[in-house]
């Protein structure tokens, strides 16, 4: 048997709370693991994502990301959490690059505040009407704001503006309807948000799993896509938002979205290591 070291970190933590944010497991050296073993380990830990570090000839490290059910090309909180572990292991410092299926992702840190630069966004219109989207989300048509869009700044997701924080809190997606949505990779995901102040937003992220709808406490990839949505809506950069997410999951989280004058989309937040261990296979 071989021993594999791992670390548990929380990403997008709120006000230093050690049990806030989105949890992540990072395997420090996955060179001896094949895809099936990685998938099985992700199911073993049963977190939203587990990442595996590998050598790279193109970046500081290569990263594979698995949910309990499938591999992902990109995700935000695994990117920041894995970068934090890389620095701890001496792989890069406060600035490094991570090779993922979606491409090379630059990441930098100021203390434990980590920032990733997303891919340039693309977008496509939604075929469903506003009323259909509202029904999928368990809302009324008047709760949905202007121009929901599919946006991809790493991984395509549906970005849905709502007219109020109350509407965000009332959202109760219907699994059988939400599953009818299809991103380019065949997954069904919806990110809803509303503006609570000029530079503050409240957001939630939903995805179906079997007959149920699950909610993510903090979604960096959707935050990046939100930057693409604002650009599509004609908002002139630079701009900045502080985003609260995870309120309804018991894991309050804080994410930051910046789009600079060069239209680069930057997603950031705090990362805390919670613990570490090893297992034998």
Tell me what pLDDT residue 218 has: 98
The pLDDT value recorded for residue 15 is 96
Domain residue spans of the chain: 3-118+269-280, 122-263
Residue 159 pLDDT grade (very low, low, confident, very high; cuts 50, 70, 90): very high
Q: State yes or no: pLDDT of 265 exceeds 90.
A: yes
Specify the pLDDT at position 187: 86
The CATH number that domain 3-118+269-280 falls under is 3.10.310.10
Give every CB contact of residue 97 below 8 A, 6+ residues apart in sequence: 58, 59, 60, 104, 105, 106, 107
Give 105-115 pLDDT, tens digit per residue: 999 999 999 99
Mean pLDDT score of the chain = 96
Domains 3-118+269-280 and 122-263 share a fold: yes
Residue 185 has which token pair? 């990779």
Topology (CATH level 3) of domain 122-263:
Diaminopimelate Epimerase; Chain A, domain 1 (3.10.310)
**Of residues 180, 195, 274, 187, the one with CA closest to residue 239:** 195
Q: What is the pTM of this model?
A: 0.96
- C-alpha torsion 31→32→38→44, nearest 10: -120
SS3 136: helix
Give the model's pLDDT for residue 210: 79
Which pLDDT score, from 0 to 100, does residue 182 have? 86
Active site residue 49: yes
Asked if residue 209 has pLDDT above 90, the reply is no
How far apart, in whole angstroms, are the C-alpha atoms of residue 10 and residue 21? 6
Catalytic residue among 15, 28, 49, 184: 49
**pLDDT (tens digit, 9 = 90+) per residue, 93-103?**
999 999 999 99
């Amino acid at each position: 048997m071989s021993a594999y070291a791992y670390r548990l970190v929380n990403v997008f933590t709120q006000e230093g709370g050690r049990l806030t944010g989105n949890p992540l497991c990072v395997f420090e050296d996955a060179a001896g693991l094949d895809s099936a073993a990685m998938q099985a380990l992700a199911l073993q830990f049963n977190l939203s994502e587990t990442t595996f570090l590998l050598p790279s000839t193109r970046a500081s490290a290569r990263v594979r990301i698995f949910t309990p059910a499938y591999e992902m090309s990109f995700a935000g909180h695994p990117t920041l959490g894995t970068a934090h572990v890389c620095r701890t292991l001496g792989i890069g410092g406060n600035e490094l690059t991570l090779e993922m299926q979606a491409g090379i992702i630059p990441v930098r840190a100021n203390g434990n505040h980590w920032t990733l630069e997303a891919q340039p966004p693309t977008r496509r219109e939604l075929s469903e009407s506003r009323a259909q989207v509202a029904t999928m989300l368990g809302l009324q048509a008047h709760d949905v704001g202007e121009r929901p869009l599919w946006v991809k700044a790493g991984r395509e997701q549906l970005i849905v503006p709502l007219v109020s924080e109350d509407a965000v809190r009332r959202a109760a997606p219907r699994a059988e309807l939400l599953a009818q949505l299809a991103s380019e990779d065949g997954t069904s995901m919806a990110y809803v948000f509303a503006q609570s102040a000029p530079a503050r937003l409240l957001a939630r992220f939903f995805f179906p799993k079997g007959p149920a709808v699950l909610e993510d406490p903090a979604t960096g990839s959707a935050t990046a896509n939100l930057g693409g949505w604002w650009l599509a809506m004609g908002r002139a950069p630079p701009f900045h938002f502080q985003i609260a997410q995870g309120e309804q999951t018991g894991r309050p989280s804080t994410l930051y979205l910046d789009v600079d004058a060069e239209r680069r989309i930057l997603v950031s937040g705090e990362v805390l290591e919670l613990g570490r261990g090893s297992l034998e296979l």
